[in-house]
Chain A
């Protein structure tokens, strides 16, 4: 079973390598102008150079920091607000329709408003990132808390659990799959908005790096930045999967 899986992975690695080779071949034969498409060799060289003696690593960390801070802020606010709204029918009746209206609003469209209020500043970027990733977390948390099995609340009452204990031991774990799913989506949104904010506000980071590279026709640097952003997206998704797997082990073990 595992050997077969390894074999398929090796096969899929070969296929991926084939695509990289195709990319190299196209670049080498100048089927697409090297101004737009540098070969993987040049992109890789730019990546290595930028990470070792350039400031690409610094840009990467700036983006990571911005993304994580905005996302954590959104998660804290989203979970707290979502718990309050999800457990209260009254709050839901008053607030849920407004959220339904706000939910499809593209988060990026508040960037101009945030710029007008806060200028091209770091707090502006944080507010935008947090606002954008708040929605997935908030709506998922509301759903998770309002969908707790009523029988479990009765168990809590029958056992005389205190209200904080009911929230901590019954509602929160029960809503955790939804909350984590919302946080996963929120993290994706946070990365996208970090890049957009960096592009628009000229904040130091990968978004600004790729935009400046494109403007200066430094295609290898641009592709190096895009590869890093892809890697960042991949690592953050794997990381949150690992957390989900650890916290939700009870769900995976179902017979």
Chain B
């Protein structure tokens, strides 16, 4: 593993300050003989936002699916909140990129949020209040009775986030959640996500192919190398919070990180 410390701070050291919420321990995985992940070790601190970037085929989505319990690792293990992951858990929520496929088309917005509450066995009476509050939180009040197909892409992704929040997760796994949205909507959702996360204190593992998005959102950016997927670089993001779409993106630190990560991706792909 090549470790380029872009910020001057040791990645490992920063983690030790906080108790780890997600910990990958030498995770390895292969599909039909082809190694996808090799010896991936990574700790994400409680309340931290870690963004994962890398060229296609570097296993970033697979790493997320392992953490979500959707895929079992071939070797090594992942623990969330100190307990090993053996399958999907209610305190770990997954936001899929393809919101169109991940929402139930036959249920209204309220019904989709309700699914998570039903799964948790929340009593009927309580559900209505909580659904209302959750839709309000993601800015979908007044759309409770709409079907997903009647909503724009941005609204559908908000709805999926609301459903994930209904799980009251300590960890949010987000797989390129804003990748399919237009630039304006994406920026709005980025800021909304940051304020929701700040409010709930959830730990975020965020996979994206957009370098600027990774820097803008993250406390740390992890760059993965392909064939097999392994950590290529770890960058501490020393940008102040709350972040601002205009100012943050113009800061010298932002530009420096963008340059460094761009070089990393170019090298990784070449």
Known: A159-B90, A255-B150. A250 touches B105 (CB 8 A): yes
Known: A151-B98, A250-B149. A160 touches B105 (CB 8 A): no
Task: Give residues in A with beta carbon < 8 Å to B.
Answer: 149, 151-152, 154-155, 157-161, 165, 169-170, 173-174, 176, 248, 250-251, 253-255
B5 to chain A, nearest CB (A): 35
Query: What A residues does B93 contact at CB under 8 A?
Result: 158
Taking the complex as formed, is B57 at the interface, i.e. its CB lies under 8 A from any CB of chain A? no
Taking the complex as formed, is B167 at the interface, i.e. its CB lies under 8 A from any CB of chain A? yes
Taking the complex as formed, is B265 at the interface, i.e. its CB lies under 8 A from any CB of chain A? no
Find residues 85-127 in chain B having any chain A CB closer than 8 Å to their own CB: 87-90, 92-94, 96, 98, 101-102, 104-107, 115-116, 118-120
Query: What B residues does A251 contact at CB under 8 A?
Result: 105-106, 149
Taking the complex as formed, is B268 at the interface, i.e. its CB lies under 8 A from any CB of chain A? no
Task: Give residues in B with beta carbon < 8 Å to A.
Answer: 68-70, 87-90, 92-94, 96, 98, 101-102, 104-107, 115-116, 118-120, 147, 149-150, 167
Asked if A170 and B70 sit within 8 Å, CB to CB, the answer is no
Name A's interface SS.
helix
Query: What A residues does B107 contact at CB under 8 A?
Result: 173, 250
Closest 10 CB pairs of A and B: A254-B149, A159-B119, A151-B101, A250-B106, A173-B106, A158-B88, A157-B88, A250-B147, A158-B94, A161-B119
A158–B104 Cα distance when bound, in Å, is 14
Least CB separation from B112: chain A residue: A155
**B101 is contacted by which of A149, A160, A250 (Cβ under 8 Å)?**
A149
A173–B102 Cα distance when bound, in Å, is 14
Asked if B115 and A159 sit within 8 Å, CB to CB, the answer is yes
Asked if A154 and B70 sit within 8 Å, CB to CB, the answer is yes
Could you name 11 residue pairs across A and B whose Cβ atoms are closer than 8 Å? A149-B101, A152-B101, A154-B96, A155-B102, A158-B92, A160-B89, A160-B90, A170-B104, A174-B104, A250-B107, A250-B147
- A sample of 9 more A-B contacts (CB under 8 A), given A154-B102, A158-B92, is A152-B104, A158-B68, A158-B94, A159-B90, A160-B89, A169-B115, A170-B104, A173-B104, A174-B104
B125 to chain A, nearest CB (A): 20
A154–B101 Cα distance when bound, in Å, is 11
A157–B68 Cα distance when bound, in Å, is 10
Query: What B residues does A160 contact at CB under 8 A?
Result: 88-90, 119-120
Known: A157-B88, A160-B88, A169-B118. A253 touches B102 (CB 8 A): no
Query: What A residues does B88 contact at CB under 8 A?
Result: 157-160
Query: What A residues does B89 contact at CB under 8 A?
Result: 160
Q: Residue among A161, A248, A250, A251 with the most chain B CB within 10 A?
A: A250
Asked if A159 and B167 sit within 8 Å, CB to CB, the answer is yes
A171 to chain B, nearest CB (A): 11
Query: What B residues does A176 contact at CB under 8 A?
Result: 106
Asked if B115 and A255 sit within 8 Å, CB to CB, the answer is no
Query: What A residues does B101 contact at CB under 8 A?
Result: 149, 151-152
A248–B92 Cα distance when bound, in Å, is 32
Least CB separation from A151: chain B residue: B101
A251–B87 Cα distance when bound, in Å, is 33
**A253 is contacted by which of B118, B150, B167 (Cβ under 8 Å)?**
B150
**A165 is contacted by which of B90, B98, B118 (Cβ under 8 Å)?**
B118
